[in-house]
Amino acid sequence: MSSSIVNTIHSTLPVDDDHPYRTGAWRPNHREWDADDLVVEGEIPADLNGVYLRNTENPVHPSIGMYHPFDGDGMLHQISFANGKASYRNRFVRTDGMQMEQDAGEPLWTGFYDLAQNSKREDGWGARGRMKDSSSTDVIVHNGVALTSFWQCGDVYQMDPMTLADMGKADWVSQFPSPTGVSAHTKLDEATGELLIFGYSTSEPFMHYGVVDAQGKLVHAIDVPLPGPRLPHDMAFSENYAILNDLPLFWDPAMIELGAHVPRFYRDIPTRFAVVPRRGNTEDIKWFEADPTYVLHWINAYEEGDWLILDGFFQHDPMPAKREGTPKPLSLYRSVDLDRLQTRPHRWRFNLVTGETKEESLSDRVMEFGMINPQIAGKNYRYTYNMTGKPGWFLFDGLVKQDVLTGTEEFYFFGEGVFGSETPFAPRTGATAEDDGYLLTFTTDMNRDCSECLIFDATRLTDGPIARVRLPERISSGTHSCWTSAEALASRQ
Ligand SMILES: [Fe+2]
């Protein structure tokens, strides 16, 4: 391996930090590396060519007030594969907010768990307002450019997926009518090259939906009127429809009046889905109702005759109560504990002719962060690759391949003290079957104080990784990620 540190960022986190989401497996990285010819245990398949990218909430400063794991500055970790060899890079997402805090040498905004009015700056981003857009939530590659985005809405930052060079902000965000910008979970349809986007805010109509074409131009944007401010996190699409949601977990309207943003789950309000033709208008939206829940992530959607099928993770307890005996710092973060939220795969069916809704659970196993073969997004599919959570924590301890046709599941446990990341599927070059490809995940190994990229054959998950690629240092745990093939990168327009 040849490696070099290309930059070190000045952090003001306390030396004796004891925050559970800034230490241990969540200890952030402040050095930016370039490393080539990485050491491999096993063999990198010759037909794995492309880039695996993962975004990370990686704090440089503590937030003003209480720190939440979603407050950290964005950092991309990248590994690229070509001809059986691997290279690694990591870079901060150099957001405007991060730059301002670097210049000030201190935090300027409160995090998600504190009051907006305690921020030092009057301006800021996010549906709540006066927070930092860290662009730390999501990453996808569209038209050969890596795009990062933030869960509370904001700008979309662009980076070169190979070099991680800063390419500035996507200009189409300023044309999108949402006053807060774009939410994380922009959705890529590889079949058309389109990017489907949404944004939400505390002002009417409360949500917008739009389409960015394959060349990166905003070509469609509509209002999605909601009854009030909502907290959607993700959207879905099929070949012909976009699906937005109005979930009954949102900021208490009376508390917003008082300047506090306190999420509550309203058990008596149904879950609502807005189904709209992908280039349809506000008048074309069809609304469907279902059992009350919150859904962080959708898995996929597709059409079958008059029915639109939507799969996602149903939270059986979206607002878990305090539990006796849980230490305070962890009790505060129980709403990111999959085990407490009871997130299970679920299927909704919407009849586009009669307006009927049907729903059913797809598994008894608690899991989330589902990935599929990206080439069949929006179409009928069979396999999903999901993460299991370490109870009590926001950490992924295992990986499940679920066959949604037969209901069978295969499980791989990373091992005690080893945590993985959201695990995308990389189709094998020349693949013909849906699961003919590889699964990739970055690990944080607390036993060996190191990180690896594990490569699995998706048809043989339980056999364990076929290759382990060593990174130059242990990296923080992190979440959303994507795979993009060398072929797709070469076709940038
Ligand atoms: Fe997410």
Coil, strand or helix: which one is 291?
coil
Measured distance CA(365)–CA(339) in Å, rounded:
10
DSSP-derived letter for residue 73 is: P
Per-residue CA distances from 107 to 22, 120, 229, 339 (Å): 15, 8, 27, 32
> What is the Å distance from ligand 1's center to 360 Cα?
23
pTM: 0.97
Cβ–Cβ under 8 Å, residues 36 and 79: no
Q: Checking DSSP bridges between strand 157-159 and strand 166-169, what pairing results, if any?
A: antiparallel
Element (H, E) at 25: none
pLDDT at 328 over 90: no
- Our measurement of the distance from residue 164's CA atom to the centroid of its chain's CA atoms, rounded to an integer in Å, reads 19
> What is the Å distance from ligand 1's center to 479 Cα?
8
pLDDT at 324 over 90: no
| Token digits of residue 413 | 């446990």
At 130-144, the pLDDT tens digits run 999 999 999 999 999
Beta strands in 404-480 (DSSP E): 409-413, 418-419, 425-427, 437-442, 444-445, 452-457, 467-470
At 153-171, the pLDDT tens digits run 999 999 999 999 999 999 9
- Our measurement of the distance from residue 355's CA atom to the centroid of its chain's CA atoms, rounded to an integer in Å, reads 30
Mean of pLDDT values over 147-151: 98
Q: Is 482 left (phi over 0), alpha (psi -120 to 50) or beta?
A: beta
| Torsion sign across C-alpha atoms 457, 461, 462, 468 | positive
At 329-345, the pLDDT tens digits run 888 899 999 999 999 99
> What is the Å distance from ligand 1's center to 420 Cα?
16
Q: What pLDDT sits at residue 429?
A: 86
Element (H, E) at 237: strand 236-237
At 13-24, the pLDDT tens digits run 999 999 999 999
> What is the Å distance from ligand 1's center to 363 Cα?
21
| Token digits of residue 255 | 């508390």
Q: What pLDDT sits at residue 325?
A: 84
- pLDDT confidence band for 30 (50 / 70 / 90): very high
> What is the Å distance from ligand 1's center to 200 Cα?
15
> What is the Å distance from ligand 1's center to 374 Cα?
16
> What is the Å distance from ligand 1's center to 135 Cα?
12
- pLDDT confidence band for 430 (50 / 70 / 90): confident
Cβ–Cβ under 8 Å, residues 180 and 200: yes
**CA-based nearest residue to 480, from 385, 369, 375:** 369
